[in-house]
């Protein structure tokens, strides 16, 4: 199995979501209140990944969720294992995404935010990072009801990687 540019880190996902995720949430919550967070972190097996890049993905998704809520609302973070895949869902009950925009949101520089407040790069970068990990990112949204992003990542174990590649990753 070929995993370019990734390094092996045990418990990376636990670290990424429970620790760095917490820092991201603290930062974002300072900016915007009142948002109620509903965290449901199911166990995810450790897997080969670039934790720094995955942190960027979840920070982007959480920031978008906060920005979609105008006055008050909820954000749900669910993580679980499904069929050998790690699944991370970030859902909000914010403004929602118009059907016509759903095919554009992963394009670089696509933004609906006021000039100066969004670059339109968050989702396009996140898409590339998830793709590099062999995973996928999906979105479901309804105007006025909210949005849910689902990130699915394969649980690539150390044993799945050739010894020679492993040396390069360490
Ligand atoms: N949770 C969400 N709820 C509603 N709209 C969203 C949500 N997430 C993304 N979008 C839409 O997708 C667009 C692109 O998102 P993306 O994160 O790529 O860029 P951005 O948030 O506009 O800017 P930035 O580069 O600063 O993240 C947003 O401008 C917004 O219209
Ligand atoms: Mg964004």
pLDDT in tens, 95-120: 999 999 999 999 999 999 988 888 99
Measured distance between the N- and C-terminal CA atoms of the chain, rounded to whole angstroms = 16
Residue nearest to atom 11 of ligand 1 (CA): 105
The neighbourhood of ligand 2, an ion, using CB within 5 A, equals 64, 122
The number of the ligand 1 atom at minimal distance from the alpha carbon of 65 is 1
pLDDT in tens, 115-161: 888 899 999 999 999 998 889 999 999 999 999 999 999 887 777 76
Q: DSSP string of 54-93?
A: HHHHHHHHHHHHHHH-SSSEEEEEEEEEETTEEEEEEEE-
Rounded CA-CA distance 49/103 in Å is 27
| Contact assessment for residue 141 and residue 95, using Cβ atoms and an 8 Å cutoff | no
| Contact assessment for residue 87 and residue 152, using Cβ atoms and an 8 Å cutoff | yes
122 Cβ closer than 6 Å to some ligand 1 atom: yes
Residue nearest to atom 17 of ligand 1 (CA): 122
pLDDT in tens, 13-71: 544 565 556 666 776 766 656 888 888 888 888 787 877 888 889 889 999 999 999 88
The alpha carbon of 64 and the centre of ligand 2 are apart by a number of angstroms equal to: 5
pTM over 0.85: yes
């Amino acid at each position: 199995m070929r995993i370019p540019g990734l390094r092996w880190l045990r418990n990376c996902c636990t670290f990424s979501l429970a620790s760095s995720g917490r820092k991201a949430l603290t930062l974002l919550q300072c900016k915007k209140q009142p948002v109620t967070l509903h965290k449901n972190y199911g166990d995810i097996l450790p897997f080969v990944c670039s934790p720094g890049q995955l942190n960027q993905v979840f920070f982007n998704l959480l920031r978008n969720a906060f920005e979609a809520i105008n006055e008050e609302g909820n954000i749900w973070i669910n993580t679980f294992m499904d069929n050998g895949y790690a699944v991370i869902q970030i859902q909000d009950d914010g403004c929602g995404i118009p059907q016509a925009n759903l095919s554009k949101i992963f394009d670089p520089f696509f933004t609906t935010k006021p000039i100066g407040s969004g670059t339109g790069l968050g989702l396009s970068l996140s898409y590339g990072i998830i793709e590099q990990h062999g995973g996928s990112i999906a979105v479901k949204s309804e105007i006025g009801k909210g949005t849910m992003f689902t990130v699915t990542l394969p649980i690539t174990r150390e044993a799945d990687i050739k010894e020679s590649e492993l040396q390069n990753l360490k």
